Amino acid sequence: MAVTTYDNRPRAGRHRRTPRTRALRPPGRPPAAILVAHLLVWGGAAAVLGLWWADTPSVLGAAGWLTGAGRITGLLAGYACAVLVALMARVPAVDHALGTDRLARWHAMGGRFTVGLTLAHVFSIVSGYALTGHTGLVRQGTDVVLHYPDMLKATAGFLLFLVTAGVSARAARKRMSYELWHLLHLATYAAVFLAFGHQLANGADFAGRLPAQIVWYVLYLGVAALVLWYRVLAPVRSALRHRLRVAHVREEAPGVTSVYVTGRRLDELAAQPGQFFRWRFLSRGLWWSAGPYSLSAPADGKGLRITVKEVGGHSAAVARLAPGTRVWAEGPYGGLTPARAKSGRSLLLAGGIGITPLRALFETLPGEVALVYWAHRQHDLALRSELDAIAGRRGGRVHYSVSGPAGHTLPMDAGTLSRLVPDIAERDVYVCGPAGMAETAKRAVREAGVPGARIHHESFAF
Amino acid sequence: MTAATGSARGLRHVEHVMGTVFSFDVRDEPVPALREALARAVAWLHRVDAVFSPYRPDSSVGRLARRTTTLAEEPADVAAILELCAELEDATRGCFSARPAGRLDPSGVVKGWATEEAARILERAGARNLCVNGGGDLQLSGEPAPGEPWRVGIADPRRPDRTVAVVSGRDLAVATSGNAERGRHITDPRTGVPVDGPLSCTVVGPHLTRADPYATAALVMGDEAWEWLARLDGYALLTVPADGGPPAAGDGFPLAEPPPA
Amino acid sequence: MRGTHRVALTGLSTISGIALLLALKPHHADQPPLSSPEPDSGGGHGGSAPSASGGTRTGTFTGDAVQTKYGPVQVRATLDKGRLTAVKVLKTPSDNEKDRSIAADAVPKLTKEALAAGGAQVHAVSGASYTSDGYARSLQSALDKADSGKHGASRPAQQGAGSGQSTTGRGGGRP
């Protein structure tokens, strides 16, 4: 039986009932995939350092220390650039195993670290050379840039790198649209390409060592091949194969629109509920960027549906799509899939437009499912009729909560959740919504006793 | 001319000529033949000055520069020297020239050549162990004392009373070309522009006639001098950089070890 | 702020890691490992057999390629009783123009250590050509005086007696 409830109790304030919770459990062991990924990345870094170690007989004087530090940071930065690009190559297996948002997070953190490494490298090398050659920093720097092989290109790459780093700073990102930022960020490909040559031409650890050079070529060419295939060729192939077009567009709620897309051989896409695609609508103003939107209904082989909330230029334009518009869909991406749920019982916590992937999961997750959906106002509860219908069909429970009018709010805390779902600690919990809501929900769920390994969350804020 | 000072240990003499000072240091027994040869060597230096000085109004070089005479009318040495200058200009790609800025001035070759010839005069008279220093460029033969090679200090261009390195050998020439005094007064003969490289270059090799212009050319060449000199058999280079760093010595430069205690 | 803490922590651990790696390497200059001497012993008094102990070795030795910042450089050292008297560079990285001029710059520095071995006692001094005045201040004149002084001879007269001594203009400042 479907149960639709509004909670009539006042919002929790001073008299919060103490929930009967178990002691906070530590987060579970991270999945094997994450461990493997760490091993690969750090193992590669150790191998790179080993190259330096094997190649350096001694470190002599201040100049030796500086040049040595310059070589180490240079090697690590070169390796890190390859890893960073690989993280963003959108290899489906990697994406599914680690999650798109985790990859994006690692990429962002690693990117900041690599910028630091590169700055340290430039400074140490120029100082070390200057000390060895008994010249001033400026003169040595100019000499290196103008007269060493491949250094003009490398300097251009370095400057591009700094520019994209600056543009990616949070302060700058707030001022520009995601699409513009993404476009600028692509300049890092050019930066990496320009800087590659100088590593082999000037790197003391590569000079005369063919095996090391070969390894470097393999590393970079391999990563380039991944990017070329998964980010360029595969989407084109997919577009040609599936010939997606907009079938029709429907408004679900004020500012929330569903788009139905049809095409050929859709089952080959193998999109699972909870996953998303990067959608490139080939219409004016939309063709040059790809927006990530989750499937809001399970892919039934006849069409794909996304539900988009107007939050900016791109999403507003999506709402105005004309039927027949051609579509390129890259994906599927995302790790928020039914396969994650091992317990047979699930709880879905949705905030705002986060309902979209959870709506698809609500329909397809096996076993017992409960859904709690937070929104601002009643009319913001998009897809509500569908949710009720699904709850009725399959016997799941759905609870709605709105911030207003007052009196219809479910507080997002461990006590409320435990009361709504007494066996919450044995369930798999999927969380999707704006960042603040997601963090609060995850905290509440952990407090209620759910182990970290059973909390599944994907953030879209990359 | 001043009287040569003699001693059981040899002959020493100092002569002011060609605007600089020539020092003779002969370590053989000062027999009369050697004293007489020394006098002839000194006279030789004055003759060279008379013929080759570009500053004297009545010298051959002065006349040739003003085109008031022809080579055929001048002593054969002049033609030989100018021919040598042409060969050197070719070998140094113009970094050494007898016609810097168009004016005829073979001084870069003449002093070293005159010094070497003065040493040969003494050798032909029987001297086996001698050192002739022509204003900072030396031709050496034999040993100053049995079993001990000559030790020649290379002056620090910044402090002429100190040396930055010591050369050691038995039969060799040491020529130093410097750019430190009175501002950068050495110009690149190809461009006329003052040279801005090392403070001094020292070339060591068998013949001072060559080492002297090589040192000048090396100063003009700068960094390319190393490669160029490496191709000349028997000659080696040391430079004192302008930035205050230590001197740099190239292939085969005969640096000395400390003297026995 | 947690953010800056993390940045500081990452930065510090990276710097410490790099410093540790550098510190673990030896810090003294290795002599280029010398292989057995060549048949043509060049240094010293005509072919004394190279002895076993490094202190009194005489001969010419070719070393292994040494890594410099420009690439591998191979060196032949001439020793005379254990003292380095000459260093000849056999192999330099010289693939293109830039490398050769760079190598030319690198090569002489290798013999820097040998320069200090010269010591102070010399018989004569080579320097940029000095004028008569310059000579008076130079080391050569001190050497000339010292030796003549020992034998009680009169000091050489300045200028004067020689004919044609007058020099105009720039005097003796020839390179």
> Which CATH number fits the domain that encloses residue B197?
3.10.520.10
Q: Are strands A256-262 and A304-309 parallel, antiparallel or unpaired?
A: antiparallel
**In this structure, are residues A341 and A279 in contact, taking their beta carbons and an 8 Å threshold?**
no
This model of the complex carries an ipTM of 0.88
Does A60 contact C at CB distance below 8 Å? yes
Chain C hits for B140, CB-CB cut-off 8 Å, are: 124
CB of C27 within 8 Å of a chain A CB? The answer is: yes
Q: Which chains sit next to C, with 3 or more Cβ pairs under 8 A?
A: A, B
State whether C14 and A207 contact (CB < 8 Å): no
Which one has a higher pLDDT value, A266 or C141? A266
Kindly state the DSSP code that residue A262 receives in the 8-state scheme: E
Query: Mean pLDDT throughout A412-424?
Result: 90
| Mean pLDDT value across chain B | 87
**pLDDT on residue C42:** 37
pLDDT at B101 over 80: no
Does the pLDDT of residue A276 top 70, yes or no? yes
What are the pLDDT digits (tens) for A277-329?
999 999 888 888 888 899 999 988 889 999 998 887 778 888 889 999 999 99
Domain membership of residue B178 as a residue range: 5-257
Which has more pLDDT, B171 or B259? B171
Q: For position A223, what pLDDT does the model report? A: 97
Tallying the residues shown for chain C, one arrives at 175
Crossing angle (nearest 10°) for helices B208-221 and B107-124? 150
Q: Which residue did the predictor score with more confidence, A331 or C68?
A: A331
Q: Which residues of B101-126 are buried (b: 16+ CB within 10 A; e: fewer)?
A: eeebbbbbbbbbbbbbbbbbbbbebe
CB A429 within 8 A of CB A349: yes
- A129 neighbourhood in chain C, CB within 8 Å: 69
* Nearest 10 degrees: Cα torsion B61, B63, B68, B69: -50
Q: Any residues with CB less than 8 A from the CB of C166 and at least 6 apart, and which?
A: none
Does position C170 have pLDDT exceeding 60, yes or no?
Answer: no
B135:C85 CB<8 A = no
Tally Cβ neighbours within 10 Å of residue A96. 18
Identify each DSSP E strand in B149-233 by its residue range: 150-156, 159-169, 172-178, 200-205
Q: Answer with the residue of higher pLDDT: A221 or B54.
A: A221
Report yes or no: C134 and C167 within 8 Å, Cβ to Cβ: no
> Residue A303 has what pLDDT?
92
* pLDDT tens, position by position, A39-78: 999 999 999 999 999 888 778 788 889 989 999 999 999 9
What CA–CA distance (Å, rounded) separates B214 from B232?
Answer: 10
DSSP codes joined into one string, chain C = -HHHHHHHHHHHHHHHHHHHHHHTS--SPPPPPB-SPPSS--SSSS-PPPPSSGGG--EEEEBPPEEETTEEEEEEEEEETTEEEEEEEEE---SSHHHHHHHHHHHHHTTHHHHGGG-S--SEEE-S---HHHHHHSHHHHHHHHHHHHTTPPPPPPSSSSTT----TTTT---
Would you say residue B201 has pLDDT above 90? yes
Query: What is the structure's pLDDT at B257?
Result: 67
Residues from chain A contacting residue B241 (CB–CB below 8 Å): 134
> How does pLDDT run across C23-77, given as a tens digit for each residue?
999 887 544 433 333 333 333 333 333 333 444 556 666 665 555 555 556 666 6
Q: Which of C131, C142, C150 sits opposite B20 (nearest CB)?
A: C131
Tell me which residue in B2, B13, B251 faces C161 most closely, judged by beta carbons.
B2
Give me the number of domains chain B comprises.
1
What residue of C is the nearest CA neighbor of B23? Answer: C144
pTM flag (> 0.80) = no
* % of chain C with per-residue pLDDT over 90: 11
- Residue C163: its pLDDT value, please? 33
Kindly state whether C12 is in contact with chain A, defined as any CB-CB distance less than 8 angstroms: no
Q: Which residue has the higher pLDDT, C93 or B156?
A: B156
Q: Which residue has the higher pLDDT, C147 or A303?
A: A303
Note the pLDDT tens digit of each residue in A99-146.
888 898 899 999 999 999 999 999 999 998 888 767 789 988 988 888
CB under 8 A, 24+ apart: contacts of A176-182: A177/A312, A177/A313, A177/A314, A178/A289, A178/A312, A178/A314, A179/A288, A179/A289, A179/A313, A179/A314, A182/A289
Structure tokens at A344: 């047979």
Tell me what the pLDDT averaged over chain A comes to.
86
Place of tokens 């110009």: B187
- Residues of chain A above pLDDT 90, percent: 50
Question: Residue written as tokens 């959870």?
Answer: A358
Output the six-digit token pair for A303: 């069409």
Over 80: is that where the pLDDT of C157 sits?
Answer: no
pLDDT single digits (tens) B227-249: 888 888 899 999 988 877 778 88
Q: According to the model, what pLDDT value does residue A209 have? A: 77
Q: Is residue B224 within 8 angstroms of chain C, CB to CB?
A: yes
Residue ranges of E strands in A210-289: 244-253, 256-262, 276-281
AA letter at C113: E
Q: What's the pLDDT tens digit per position in C88-143?
A: 665 555 444 444 444 444 444 434 444 444 455 789 999 888 777 777 777 788 88
Q: Would you state the pLDDT for residue A15?
A: 42
Token pair of A2 as six digits = 């479907």
Chain C residues touching A59 at Cβ < 8 A = 22, 25-27
**A379-400 CB burial, b ≥16 within 10 A, e <16:** ebbbbbebbeebbeeeebbbbb
Closest alpha carbon within chain B to A132: B245
Q: Is the pLDDT of residue B2 over 50?
A: no
DSSP state of A16: P
Query: What is the pairing mode between strands B137-141 and B172-178?
Result: antiparallel
Percent of chain B's residues with pLDDT above 90 = 53
Q: How far apart are CA B221 and CA B227, in angstroms?
A: 10
